[in-house]
Amino acid sequence: MSAQVLATVSDLIVSHPYLTALLALLTYIIVQHTRSYLSLSHIPGPPLAHHTTLPLIRACLSGHTASYLSTITAQYGPLARIGPDHLLTSDPATIQRMSGARSPYRKSYWYGAMKFKPRSENLLSERDEARHEALRRKMAGAYSGREVGVEGVVDERVEEMVSLIEKKYAISKETSGPSAERNYLNVALITQYFTVDVISHLAYGVPWGDVASETDKYGYIEASETNMPTITAMALLPRLLAFFEKSYILDWLSPATQESVGLGMIVNATGPIIRARLAMGKEHQEKDMLGAFIRSGLGREELESESTLQVLAGSDTTATTIRVGLLYICSNASVLRKLRAEFDSAEISSPITDAEARKLPYLQAVIKESIRIVPPVTGMFSKEVPPEGDIICGKKVPGGTLISQCSLAIQRHEVFGTDPESFIPERWIGISPEQHHEMSQTVDLVFGYGKYQCLGRPVALLELNKVFVELLRRFDFTVRDPQNPWDANNAGLWSHRNFLVSVSQRQDVQ
């Protein structure tokens, strides 16, 4: 009987090779899927996530990534399943361990979608550990401020924004009142104009001029908001992304094909600037980031790839924290009063220096709480479990599994004490150095950790150290609609629209 079966199968293979191939492929898929399902079946998660990443992709495309992931951790705990081979964690210690200097964890395929030019890696997308570390070393000097006059640039850009608000939007003490005509300031836009001008000034020696023109001059903001949902969704489809890249379809779909606006403008317009600067030689470079990168040995391809990442990573995130901070400060009279009392009584410059700001404990508490309450970066930043597997949150996880992070849930961790859903700067005051350190380390996970920590962190903190003081020492802000202050979407980064406030000259100046 068995011989007859074998003969029948043999005849089937010979006479129907395509059908046989299809059946073999289906069998392979079923076996792989079953193996994947069983290997992680002990880890809870939404039932559909055991079989597909479609709900996760839908959350990315709809702009609800952060809330979707946060809901999963709230329901299933600090380690949950969000795909057939994909887990999500909200445990700070796990994130720190995965990103440590000697960690065997590596970047997953998720990072492959973070290229802004096909087949051209940048600091974020580079998955090879040796090349990633070499690139970090070359770029570190520019971001640290050692080779670039960072603080002076930020001072210029802050003064320009303050001047614009004062001349165009602030109602004077004499004209303020119920009958005064309101010219509402869109904080969602002005903060991004400011941060784009800061990073472009630092990068190329001159700002793009978004604040001066009060426009998204090159369409970057619109392009970022439009493209990020697709980019984060494609990060979950590695085979499709690889096919698009190898077949050169991605060259047509890439932002670089849109040469006059948005991400494509950055990719293409910086090319001539980079080539001209390279022709000058290392010894004749300007005191900006581009000059520092060239002096450190970055080549043309590396410079062009990093240019888009600089603007994306250096503007959207800081602008989010400024918006969040202003909303929570101006919605809480007690916080505003304490903050103003601190810098009114301190001997500080105008504009305040970074060193002076670091010595103001309540200001630092407000900044940390602004970063914590709405983490400006909510990307999944998936890492791959090493081949030997690991124990995560007490559960065995096989090698090759993806581990993503839930930034919102991490910033609601028990380390922050009671009521982590509320904006309470006082949680940072009067606590032990050990607790303050642990809380600070957890907030800093927003900037990455260890070998993956964001190089732009010092620049972002310097901006935050200055902006809140310079705005609140001069102006009173009243949110037009406190119940619905803005329209928000999230696809790894936050997009805020229509954050309207009325502005008047400060009434309680001492």
pLDDT digits (tens, 9 = 90+) for 366-407: 999 999 999 999 999 999 999 999 999 999 999 999 999 999
* 33 within domain boundaries: no
pTM of the model: 0.89
The pLDDT, as a whole number, for residue 229 is 92
* pLDDT 10s digits, 234-254: 999 988 888 877 776 666 666
What total number of domains does the chain contain? 1
Closest CA to 319 of 220, 410, 412: 220
Instruction: Give me the domain span that covers residue 430.
Output: 40-505
Percentage, residues of the chain above pLDDT 70: 86
Does 454 carry a binding-site annotation?
Answer: yes
pLDDT class of 495 with cuts at 50, 70, 90: very high
* 24 within domain boundaries: no
What's the whole-number mean pLDDT along residues 467-491?
Answer: 95
* 419 within domain boundaries: yes
* pLDDT 10s digits, 294-307: 998 888 888 888 87
Contact assessment for residue 61 and residue 233, using Cβ atoms and an 8 Å cutoff: yes
* 207 within domain boundaries: yes
Res. 180: pLDDT tops 60: no
The mean pLDDT value of the chain amounts to 88
3-state SS assignment for residue 307? helix
Measure Cα distances from 327 to 188, 278, 368, 478 in Å: 11, 43, 15, 9
Closest CA to 302 of 135, 456, 137, 147: 135
* 34 within domain boundaries: no
* 32 within domain boundaries: no
Contact assessment for residue 315 and residue 196, using Cβ atoms and an 8 Å cutoff: yes
* 61 within domain boundaries: yes
What's the whole-number mean pLDDT along residues 207-224?
Answer: 88
* 496 within domain boundaries: yes
Q: What is the CATH number of the domain that holds 361?
A: 1.10.630.10
pLDDT class of 119 with cuts at 50, 70, 90: confident
- Least confident among 5-9, 125-129, 166-170, 308-312: 5-9
Res. 94: pLDDT tops 80: yes
Res. 414: pLDDT tops 50: yes
